[in-house]
Amino acid sequence: MGQKSTFISFQAEADILSKIFDHPKDFIHPFILLPLFGQCCLIISLFWKRHTQKLQVIGILSLSLIMLMVLLIGFLTLNIKMILSSLPFVGLAIWHLRQLYMNRKKPA
Q: In the chain, what are the domain boundaries?
A: 24-105
DSSP E strands in the chain: the ranges are: none
d(CA 56, CA 64): 12
pTM for the whole structure: 0.71
d(CA 54, CA 60): 10
Q: Which residues contact 42 (CB under 8 A, 6 or more apart)?
A: 55, 56, 59, 60, 63
Query: pLDDT digits over 15-53, tens only?
Result: 777 777 777 777 777 777 888 888 888 889 888 877 788
pLDDT at residue number 3 = 54
pLDDT at residue number 61 = 93
